[in-house]
Amino acid sequence: DVKVTQSSRYLVKRTGEKVFLECVQDMDHENMFWYRQDPGLGLRLIYFSYDVKMKEKGDIPEGYSVSREKKERFSLILESASTNQTSMYLCASSLWGESNTGELFFGEGSRLTVL
Amino acid sequence: GQNIDQPTEMTATEGAIVQINCTYQTSGFNGLFWYQQHAGEAPTFLSYNVLDGLEEKGRFSSFLSRSKGYSYLLLKELQMKDSASYLCAVRDSNYQLIWGAGTKLIIKP
């Protein structure tokens, strides 16, 4: 089974702090994604990556950056956390090709509270 | 703009059948997904439709009509463990996923 592991389930940070959210997948998937999930809204894509050292902006990249130095690891960085970044952050990976649907496999999520 | 609509909340009785609808307006279409998300947990993949018609997988079925921009997820023989949110997502012409806000399904004994 595919496993996507996020480093922290719950974090509490103060405004202005730098925050690192780590995500590791163990199935050699090329594609990795960071979403945030807020009540009443659909999942919103922050950044995604199709390959090592590659990154693409999603719908809401402002205030975030990412790093993909190894295929299995995709990190989300909040350079200076703000209260409006309080949210659930979901990492996902997928294998995309003609022989599969490309469904996403999600991590358990990291609930970040910024005070 | 691109939009996915699904009901916010539905209630059903254990043992019954429930249909969760999803309508979409997107720039192109390259498949529709349904995911299940229990409270406090990660979404998990349920079904995928890319051609019109019904896909059946055990107690769950998913239907797609591309001409109407419409899908539904049908859950039969409801169990208490089916209480969860159900997320509809469409992959557009750029192969990006557009997500609905999810339907919270409450199952009552």
For position A97, what pLDDT does the model report?
64
Size of the A and B interface in Cβ pairs below 8 Å: 48
**pLDDT tier at A1 (50, 70, 90 boundaries)?**
low
Q: What average pLDDT does the segment A11-21 reach?
A: 97
Q: What average pLDDT does the segment B54-73 reach?
A: 97
Long-range contacts from B98-101, C-beta under 8 angstroms, 24+ separation: B98/A42, B98/B2, B98/B3, B98/B4, B98/B24, B98/B26, B99/A42, B99/A43, B99/A44, B99/B4, B100/A42, B100/B4, B100/B5, B100/B6, B100/B22, B100/B24, B101/A40, B101/A41, B101/A42, B101/B4, B101/B6, B101/B8
Q: What average pLDDT does the segment B50-63 reach?
A: 96
Is the pLDDT reported for residue B1 higher than 80? no
Q: Give the separation between CA B43 and CA B27, rounded to whole angstroms.
A: 24
Indicate yes or no: CB of B4 within 8 angstroms of CB of A41. Answer: no
Q: State which residue of chain A sits closest to B47, comparing Cα positions.
A: A103
Is the pLDDT reported for residue A96 higher than 60? yes
Q: What average pLDDT does the segment A8-32 reach?
A: 95
* CA torsion, ordered A30, A3, A106, B46, to nearest 10 deg: 100
| CB < 8 Å to B101, chain A | 40-42
Is the pLDDT reported for residue A35 higher than 80? yes
| CB < 8 Å to B89, chain A | 42-43
The pLDDT tens digits of the residues spanning B18-29 come to 999 999 999 999
The pLDDT tens digits of the residues spanning A43-81 come to 999 999 999 999 999 999 999 999 999 999 999 999 999
For position A98, what pLDDT does the model report?
57
Is the pLDDT reported for residue B2 higher than 90? no
For position B57, what pLDDT does the model report?
92
Q: Pick from A101, A103, A108: which is nearest to B41 by CB?
A: A108
Q: What average pLDDT does the segment A89-105 reach?
A: 83
Pick from A29-38, A89-98, B89-98 the range whose average pLDDT is largest: A29-38
Nearest-Cα distance to chain A for B30, in Å, is 10
| CB < 8 Å to B33, chain A | 101, 103-104
**Residue, of B2 and A60, whose pLDDT is higher:** A60
Is the pLDDT reported for residue A104 higher than 60? yes
B contact test, residue of A103, A105, A108, A110 with most B CBs within 10 A: A103
For position A2, what pLDDT does the model report?
64
